[in-house]
Amino acid sequence: MITYEDRRAGQLAAAGRWPELLELFRRLRGTSPRSAGPVGHLIAYAAPPEHAARLFDRDGGPFTAADEHDHDAGPLWEVLATRHSWRRLAPLLEPAPVRRLVAHTRALLGEEVAGRAEPDPEGVPLTLAAWEQAGWEESVRVRDYLPAGGARRALFALPDTREDLGPLDLPAPGPRTPGPAATRSPAGLAPWLTTVCVRGTAPDAAAQLAPGRRVLAGHLPFAAAYPALVQAASGARGLGTAHGRLAVWHLLAGMAGAARPVPAEVDALVARLRCLAWSEPRDELWYLHLALEDPATGLAWALSGSMEP
């Protein structure tokens, strides 16, 4: 249903009356935050950067500035980041959380941000590692936003095909690992994922969650699983791909036994991980079935679940 405010916003945008459109967004955000979303999307998508970045300025008074949580088809900061370079946006963005997420988004989109933006406060690099880039095209890393609202996003599925899988007999499920090792598991990666930690191999971990002893499964490099993990961690409407990347880096840091991401330690973990993906009969659109084994510690983790589109 197109409201009066939607029509007015469209008319102001068509006329290039961005200051008036910004005032409309601020008024709506202060009185009707849900109605402000489409207006904010229009500004973030279509306005010149000097106007679009003002969505996040606090000069309009309390409760009128967008923050990292404001969204419509996706986070407003992510819409903005898909439209303008870091070089254009850096002098204009003030709130630190928004600056951080925009910088990571620009890095995901292939821009050289490291050295041009403040270092990440948690140690996640602003340059994508080689294993992050492998097999993950820039054009599908971040949602493709549409001018009037809405977005296109690549579906994720792991494993994404059964062609390279073969029958595998899993061992009988053993005990799960409690305590500190279990806290490194990807339990918070996505609410629809079930996760476990065991002392053993990737098949031992998969046996905890797979629907039966015999499955269709296959080994793959972590780089092939990485995009699906990021997309799973950023699947909620209010989250962006940068959230997913940060979450996966923290997951890997925990698996490596570190309190925060250290690129050299994460790279070393990724290089030695043994990964196993398996298929389940009910898989449809968005699903993930993955076991990760670290032979250096003898620990393995499994993640499994499906998300409604």
pLDDT tens across 82-97, in order? 999 999 999 999 999 9
Which amino acid type is present at position 182? A
Residues 106 and 36 in one domain: yes
Residues 144 and 247 in one domain: no
Q: Pick the last residue of a domain from 103, 129, 152.
A: 152
Q: Pick the last residue of a domain from 152, 170, 185.
A: 152
| pLDDT band per the 50, 70, 90 thresholds, residue 115 | very high
pLDDT of residue 57 exceeding 90, the answer is yes
Tell which residue, 186, 132, 177, has the closest CA to residue 304. Answer: 186
Average pLDDT, the chain: 92
Q: For the residues 45-60, what does the mean pLDDT come to? A: 94
The count of domains in the chain is 2
Residues 162 and 234 in one domain: yes
| pLDDT band per the 50, 70, 90 thresholds, residue 60 | confident
Task: Give the torsion through C-alpha atoms of 23, 85, 41, 248, to 10 deg.
Answer: -130
Residues 187 and 146 in one domain: no
Q: Pairing between strand 286-294 and 157-158?
A: parallel
Residue-range definition of the domain harbouring residue 223: 157-307
pLDDT of residue 5 exceeding 90, the answer is no
With beta carbons less than 8 A apart as the criterion, state whether 307 and 286 touch: yes
pLDDT tens across 285-296, in order? 889 999 999 999
pLDDT tens across 125-144, in order? 999 999 999 989 999 999 99
Residues 243 and 108 in one domain: no
Q: Pick the last residue of a domain from 152, 172, 199.
A: 152
pTM of the model: 0.93
| Tokens linked to 98 | 């928004």
Residues 203 and 114 in one domain: no
pLDDT tens across 14-37, in order? 899 999 999 999 999 988 888 899
| pLDDT band per the 50, 70, 90 thresholds, residue 303 | very high
In this structure, of 37-51, 168-182, 201-215, 237-251, the range with the lowest mean pLDDT score is: 168-182
Res 253: pLDDT: 93
Res 186: pLDDT: 67
Residues 161 and 201 in one domain: yes
pLDDT of residue 1 exceeding 80, the answer is no
pLDDT of residue 236 exceeding 60, the answer is yes
Query: What b/e readout covers 200-231, taking b as 16+ CB neighbours within 10 angstroms?
Result: bbbbbbbbbbbeeeebbbbebebbbbbbbbbb
Residues 226 and 266 in one domain: yes
pLDDT of residue 232 exceeding 60, the answer is yes
Res 226: pLDDT: 97
Q: How far apart are CA 252 and CA 37, in angstroms?
A: 34
Q: For the residues 241-256, what does the mean pLDDT come to? A: 95
pLDDT of residue 237 exceeding 90, the answer is no
Measured in degrees and rounded to the nearest 5, phi and psi for residue 286 equal -110, 110
Q: How far apart are CA 90 and CA 199, in angstroms?
A: 46
Res 179: pLDDT: 60
If you search the block for the tokens 């009066």, which residue do you land on?
4
DSSP string, 199-244: ES-HHHHHHHHSSSSEEEEEEE-HHHHHHHHHHHHT-STT--HHHH
With beta carbons less than 8 A apart as the criterion, state whether 232 and 138 touch: no
| pLDDT band per the 50, 70, 90 thresholds, residue 98 | very high
Res 165: pLDDT: 94
pLDDT of residue 182 exceeding 60, the answer is no
| pLDDT band per the 50, 70, 90 thresholds, residue 3 | low
Helix ranges, the chain (H): 4-14, 18-31, 33-46, 49-52, 76-83, 86-89, 96-108, 130-133, 180-183, 202-209, 222-233, 241-255, 263-272
| pLDDT band per the 50, 70, 90 thresholds, residue 2 | low
Residues 293 and 210 in one domain: yes
Residues 136 and 220 in one domain: no
Residues 31 and 165 in one domain: no
Residues 60 and 121 in one domain: yes
| pLDDT band per the 50, 70, 90 thresholds, residue 155 | confident
| pLDDT band per the 50, 70, 90 thresholds, residue 302 | very high
Res 180: pLDDT: 59
